[in-house]
Amino acid sequence: MGELTSEDPKEVALEYFQMGYEHQIKGDLEQAIALYTKSIELSPTAEAYTYRGWTFSFMGRLEEAIEECKKAIEVDPDFGNPYNDIGAYLIEKGKWDEAVSWLEKATHAKRYESYCFPHMNLGRAWEHKGFWSRAKKAYKNALETNPDYLQAVTALHKLQAKMN
């Protein structure tokens, strides 16, 4: 584990968060959870809860991942990632109907760097439910927010082929 460079609790929390992310990327998920937890104990942030949830999801612990995202929303209801993540976890669980409302909230969140993800997931949900025109619109919205999003390009082409 790296050396901490600050004594300010918020800065230390951020350092723990960053170390947690490094461990998560390396696949050291238990250590990542421990570091995210230390970060949260010092200064709870929506990001730390969301990333701890993401780590739980990598371990197949989807219910815990969803609960972490709900905590993130309590801390910062404007942060879009946890809404999308809940929707994605519900899709993974086969709960397509429940996923839609979470994904729609993510597309309207005030703070989100990658709106293409909830639009893409919403497209997947609509397509699965047989609402192809809604799915097409969602995929196009994903591409409007990120024209280079290959997954959305592919999904849109496959859907258009189905529709012909």
Span 45-99, pLDDT tens digits:
999 999 999 999 999 999 999 999 999 999 999 999 999 999 999 999 999 999 9
Which residue type is seen at 93?
A: K
The pLDDT value given to residue 8:
86
CB half-sphere exposure, 122, CA atoms < 13 A: 26
Does residue 112 carry a pLDDT above 80? yes
Q: What is the pTM of this model?
A: 0.92
The pLDDT value given to residue 78:
97
Which strand (E) or helix (H) includes residue 34? helix 29-42
Where in the chain are all domains bearing CATH 1.25.40.10? 1-112
Query: What is the C-alpha to C-alpha distance for residues 30 and 163, in angstroms, rounded to an integer?
Result: 45
Query: What is the C-alpha to C-alpha distance for residues 141 and 82, in angstroms, rounded to an integer?
Result: 19
Q: How many residues appear in the chain?
A: 164
Does residue 6 carry a pLDDT above 70? no
Q: Is the dihedral of CA 92, 154, 104, 84 positive or negative?
A: positive
Does residue 3 carry a pLDDT above 70? no
Lookup: tokens for 80: 């879009």
Mean pLDDT, the chain, whole residue set: 95
The pLDDT value given to residue 134:
98
Residue with the larger pLDDT of the pair 34 and 113: 34
Which of 1.25.40.10, 1.10.3720.10, 1.10.10.10, 3.40.50.300 would CATH assign to domain 1-112?
Answer: 1.25.40.10
